[in-house]
Amino acid sequence: MVFIRKNLISKLIFNLIILSLVIGALFFGLRYFNIEAIPLVYFVASLGGLSLLFIFFYWIDIVSPIRIILKQVDALLAGRRYSKIFTTRIDEIGTLAHFFNQVIAGLGKASADIKDRERMLEELTIAHDLQRDILPLVSPTLPGMQIVAKNRPASEVGGDSFNIITSDDKTYIYVGDVTGHGVAAGLIMTMVNSLVSVFAEMYDNPYDVLINVNKHIKTHVKKAMFMTMVMLCWDHKEQSLTYVGAGHEHILVYRNLTGECSEILSGGIALGMVPDNSKLITEKEIELNDGDFVILYTDGITEARNNNGELFGLKRLEEAIKEHASQYSAEGLNYHVAKDVSTFMQDHKQDDDMTLIVLEKDKEYKGSETQKIETKW
């Protein structure tokens, strides 16, 4: 009987056999009891009644359940309200009902996923806007020093941190890179930016700023996450530039007189790695002549890949600086180096956030113009 329950054809054949046996039994009974005078109309009515009974059960067992399934399918396709089909059948009709239930369950999950995705995108948009508002929109006007910056996040929320903060007669220029990118990196970046802004108003040197920033973020950052940074300090009165490194990339210096580009190891240890970094970082001076450039960058630039999997690398970055620095100001150098990186990448996906800051010592520069900080290269 299980086979009959699993198969409509077998069930139909079984019912026809039963009907045939009933009709055969009727004929046999008439012959056995030698009943030959029964009116034909009664005999036909009996056969018709049996046939109607068969059709009724066929309708209840097959046609009606199929119509119920089709009604729900039509409602689904038309976008109307539909409901789950409850059944214990294991034949083809049961299979159709279970399939329909699986489809609407999948649609329900997909709908929930879409709503979650829309909510997450909305939250990421808010986080992106908040982060954008924290980052500087324009470079400040500094007498004797031109500064131009570009930032290109790899996702809605970036992990690169940079800012240009003027306090009294000193300006702090820094760039940092949180491990990884995305929401977690963006949150740490935002926290560090806020701390730097506070401590830059409290201390008059980058050494003390980074010691206190490190002390406060160590208690809030997981062991696996930290932030590299290099901070420059431009003294308006002395017209001098110093730096403190915290495990970041090289500082690149282009010498106008020789046309050479040299590397300075930033040194130090990344923020958030140890509770106290006071003995691991130092403040040093970079001696500059008029027309010299200082370039800060994050590893998203040197580790940018092309379609062949090649890295842009530090050597290409230095060659690009030497090629363009002799022809352009800080704005032009920043623009053309960024363009070279984009050209190198072609249509390869950006894997990490990229930040590029170019400073040019120019004794004739009076700080009469402001340079907008770009987020698209």
pLDDT tens for the 377 residues of the chain, in order: 544 455 666 666 666 676 666 666 666 665 555 555 555 555 566 667 767 776 777 677 777 887 888 888 888 777 788 788 887 777 777 777 888 888 878 776 766 666 666 665 565 555 556 555 555 656 677 888 999 988 887 765 456 788 899 988 899 999 998 876 566 777 777 888 889 999 999 999 999 999 999 998 887 776 677 889 999 999 999 999 999 999 999 999 999 999 999 999 999 999 988 999 999 999 999 999 999 999 999 999 999 999 999 999 999 999 999 999 999 999 999 999 999 999 999 888 888 888 999 999 988 766 555 555 555 56
Q: Which two tokens stand for residue 351?
A: 């894997």
CATH number of the domain located at residue range(s) 139-372 in this protein: 3.60.40.10
Q: Which two tokens stand for residue 115?
A: 């709503």
Map 295-333 to HEC letters. EEECHHHHCCECCCCCECHHHHHHHHHHHHHCCCCHHHH
- d(CA 203, CA 193) in angstroms, rounded, equals 15
Confidence at residue 172, expressed as pLDDT on a 0 to 100 scale: 95
Q: Are 377 and 145 in contact (CB under 8 A)?
A: no
Confidence at residue 124, expressed as pLDDT on a 0 to 100 scale: 53
For the chain, the domains span 2-109, 139-372
